Amino acid sequence: MELGLRGRKALITGASKGIGRACAEVLAEEGCDVALVSRTAADLEKARAEIAGKHNVGVRVFALDLSDSRNVDKLAAESTDIDILVNNAGAIPGGNIDAITEERWRTAWDLKVFGYINMTRCFYAQMRERGHGVIVNILGAAGENPDFNYIAGSSGNASLMAFTRAMGGTSPRDNIRVVGINPGPVMTERLVTLTKTRARDTLGDETRWEELMNGHAFGRAAKPEEIAWMAAFVASDRSAYTTGNIITIDGGGSSRRSAL
C-alpha cells in the first residue's frame, strides 16, 4: 500500500537499534526524510550510513540523552519542521517493588516517561503552530497487563497510555493526531540477551534460548518491522481518523490473559 508519506519529515527516538531502528527504516522506505536520535553516536552513524545507502532520503542524527530536558529543548530548536514524531527511547528495568530502588526507578522514568512527555510538549507546540502533525508513542503491553515483576515498566507504560489518550482525544482541534502502540515481546537484541540468560538459568545452556520462544504466539516474538509497519500506517493519511487510541501488537497475548 502506498502510504503517501513521501517528502514528510520524521523524527524517531531510540532510533539506532530495535523498534526505533526499524521505524526509521520503514519511514525512510516510504520516502520520509528521517532524523535519528539516540545516546550512542557510533550506532547512529552506522544507522545513518545504512539508511542513506538504501533510500534516497535525507538522514540526520542527534546523539543526545533525552532524560535531560535541556537536550529535548536543544533537539526541538534544531528540528522545527517535523511532521511525524515517533517516541521510542527508553527501556525500564525488570524487577518487583523490592528490587527496583528509587534511583533506578527515577532514572528509567526520566528517559521513557518524562522523556516522552517533554518531547510531546515541545514538538506538539511546533506542530500546532504549523497546523498539522502526528505523534506515535511506542509504549509496551505491560501497561495494560501489569506485572508485579515488571512494576516500574508496567506503571510507566500505563501512565503513558493515559497521557496518549488524553492528548489524542483533544488533539484533533489542532489538526494533530496522537496514537500509541503497545508491543508485546519483540525480537530485539535486548530480548535475545534476556532470553539467553533465562535459558542459561533454566536449561543450563544459553544456546537453547530459541526453545523458550515456543510459548509465544506463532512460536516467536514479533519482528521489529511488524511494529514499524504499524507506526508508519498510523502516521499516514491512510489512518487519518485515528487518534487517542492504543494499538496492541502482542500476538493475542492480552486476549489470552483476559480469558483466564
Q: Give the separation between CA 195 and CA 70, rounded to whole angstroms.
A: 36
**pLDDT tens for each residue of 128-169:** 999 999 999 999 988 888 888 889 999 999 999 999 999 999
Domains and CATH numbers, the chain: 9-186+225-252 (3.40.50.720), 187-221 (no CATH)
Q: Hunting for cell 507504560 — which residue is that?
A: 157
Q: Give the separation between CA 258 and CA 239, rounded to whole angstroms.
A: 28
Q: What pLDDT sits at residue 258?
A: 55
Report which DSSP code applies to 17.
S
- Residue 257 pLDDT level (bands cut at 50, 70, 90): low
Q: Which alpha helices (DSSP H) does the chain contain, by range?
A: 18-29, 41-54, 69-78, 102-111, 113-130, 151-170, 189-203, 224-235, 253-258
Mean local confidence (pLDDT), 2-11: 96
Q: What pLDDT sits at residue 203?
A: 85
Q: Give the separation between CA 96 and CA 6, rounded to whole angstroms.
A: 44
- Residue 260 pLDDT level (bands cut at 50, 70, 90): very low
**pLDDT tens for each residue of 188-238:** 877 777 778 777 888 888 888 887 788 788 888 889 999 999 999 999 999
